[in-house]
Structure 1
């Protein structure tokens, strides 16, 4: 019982610190503003680069949203990365549809990739090929399933210029259908935020902690080339996050902002799909280190799940301390989820379920990667030896 009481106090200190750190860090939790002056000042050419592999269900809508942007100097480069479905055909149809159409002055270029060279992850290679044909002073790397509001690029460029930033990454509104999926998605990003603390990207006095989000990475050509392009992260499944880290390590100016009112993405359509998707790349977040992954699992169980068990199982005042732990945890959760989504619901009532599910995904990701000797990513196998070779990109 003494051990349980001691752990209740350790957990209390942890959540008090997280509450203090979250409140202190609110100055760095930004939101992309809507700007009536977005058309003023310099308007550099922006090259939007989209990588698509087996995205026939979403690619048409994504490209049409980009073609509808109000920013006047834009080019779109859509890269069909070895798709076996109708993605390539739909992109070619979109290009023909956009040519000479009234109200669409944005050039649309299509690149078809038929083979993948060794030493590359497919998406990273596709984005790099897009860069090689891009002419813009600014490069916008985005995914094939993102929905853009018409003013998104204009507002982003205006904000980036006002902040004198070399890189801007936006967190989209995460569309999750169904109670259980929404509960898990919100918990995942809550846990991820505490682990990464992404808002530190906006602290100009540190160069270690950077951030990048695949839905929206807007970067100057100069900065992108300075960090070594996607060649520096060729085998990273978490290429977006690593790009952000390299920007910071190169002592460039970075901004992370919520884009909840500017762009949206349906991350996964169901809980089983989320489990299968995260199994592929969760281990990479721990740099393929068994030690780090084990510490992550222990931390999840000890700090997030055990207070619920202790509240019921512990006697006397220890139970009350665990109850206080839970209250502090949920306070931090509400603060972070509201900053990311603009709302909070009742999904917190299944918090222990979400903790257990994420813990299971981490364990299964490690087990699958080790059993297979690598990962299958969009139909291509990458050995663990290859992946570990580039586990920490050079600045």
Structure 2
């Protein structure tokens, strides 16, 4: 039997855990519905009333070779010796029955054998062209400048920016063009199926998909003109050449660390649509190879992703701690102190959180059982967020691929 002291302590905590459990159930229902609203790459999308009208027939005619439009694939590459060849080979192997293709690669002052890997691949595909980056101007972010330089050489109607660690399936480009042609303008993006190997990859990398599926009304990205409804990734970002120009391109957001989100925001502000699509069946990526890369990669972007808002950092940390850490702590404590009612509520909260993450992981092409790591994943996310905030406060900035960012 629960003693009086434990009972007095348990009742307020039971009430809190009941509220948390009910909230988690609502989030589970929202997540299932939300994921069902995500457009799929290769399927047409419908035009929204708020989008600007343009004279598309003339634009299409101006950039076609015969009756096939030209697609430009643009790849910024800095120290990508281990990735670039497989990336290029996967693009070269894509079906291109309905389009012409050019593949432009920017060697951004690589300090390894990136250029040699590119040249070996060029020998087998004359559609690949290699460019060398010029000196990084003051204030520019490295990737933004590499993408900007690539844009100066692109000749296609649509431009597909691809990171060197991305791999395309054979139908990927055809699927992308189906969606792009139905949208006619604007920007299309999607998070590749994330391959993970080391322990921190398994714990942290799937959390990006979790954050989007759990919080962001996905359908509003496409339906609303408001830039607050946005989620894209620079790993796979397809943009109409005229939308790129109307938005100002990378030159407009040259000094932003999270350049992909800023570009998408500029596209919406220009009156053009943005679509976040389910692309995991068509693309994959392994962004990081060890724990240090995972930590530094997320640390570089996560505070900037909050808009550099300390209040939001604090709020997110408390929110995730209450939803995903407190129930586990209380479950352990209630089992030790023999409080079955408290244990039941805490266990329910822990289980619902794990199931929700498992559903998002499965939707993203990962194992459902990764959901069991939810409390650990939430704890790591909080720690990385706080570390990113502290790095910004103390002026040390972020180190990535031999460059330091503020």
> TM-score, with normalisation over the residues of structure 1?
0.85
Aligned position for 2:32 = 23
Aligned position for 1:325 = 349
CA deviations 1:227-272 (Å, max 9, x no partner) are: 1101222122221223233333433222222222211111212333
Partner residue of 2:87 out of 59, 62, 66? 62
Alpha-carbon spacing, 1:21–1:250, altered in 2? closer, same or farther (3 Å): farther
Aligned position for 1:283 = 303
Partner residue of 2:378 out of 333, 351, 355? 355
Structure 2 counterpart SS, 1:54: coil
Q: What number of residue pairs does the alignment pair up?
A: 370
How far the C-alpha of 1:123 sits from its partner, in A, is 0.4
Q: Is the 8 A contact 1:124 1:230 kept in 2?
A: yes
Aligned position for 1:268 = 288
Partner residue of 1:111 out of 128, 131, 145? 131
How far the C-alpha of 1:78 sits from its partner, in A, is 0.5
Q: Which structure 1 segments of 5+ residues have no match?
A: 36-40, 99-103, 384-395
How far the C-alpha of 1:318 sits from its partner, in A, is 3.8
Q: Which structure 2 segments of 5+ residues have no match?
A: 1-8, 45-65
How far the C-alpha of 1:206 sits from its partner, in A, is 5.5
Q: Work out the CA distance in 2 between the residues paired with 1:271 and 1:278.
A: 11
How far the C-alpha of 1:353 sits from its partner, in A, is 2.1
Aligned position for 2:61 = none
Segment drifting more, 345-354 vs 108-117: 345-354
Computing the radius of gyration over CA atoms, which structure comes out larger, 1 or 2?
A: 2
Q: Is the 8 A contact 1:140 1:218 kept in 2?
A: yes
CA deviations 1:151-181 (Å, max 9, x no partner) are: 2111110122234452211221111125663
Aligned position for 2:108 = 81
Q: Is the 8 A contact 2:87 2:166 kept in 1?
A: yes
RMSD of aligned alpha carbons: 2.6
Alpha-carbon spacing, 1:27–1:70, altered in 2? closer, same or farther (3 Å): same
How far the C-alpha of 1:89 sits from its partner, in A, is 3.4
Q: Work out the CA distance in 2 between the residues paired with 1:345 and 1:84.
A: 39
Please say if 1:364 is aligned against 2:391: no
Q: Work out the CA distance in 2 between the residues paired with 1:277 and 1:382.
A: 12
Alpha-carbon spacing, 1:268–1:181, altered in 2? closer, same or farther (3 Å): same
Partner residue of 1:166 out of 186, 209, 224? 186
Aligned position for 2:404 = 381
CA deviations 1:61-105 (Å, max 9, x no partner) are: 21222223322411111011111112133334433x14xxxxx4x
Matches within 5 A, 1:1-395: 1=9, 2-33=11-42, 43-71=68-96, 72-95=99-122, 97-98=123-124, 104=125, 107-164=127-184, 166-178=186-198, 181-198=201-218, 200-204=220-224, 208-314=228-334, 315-341=339-365, 343-383=366-406
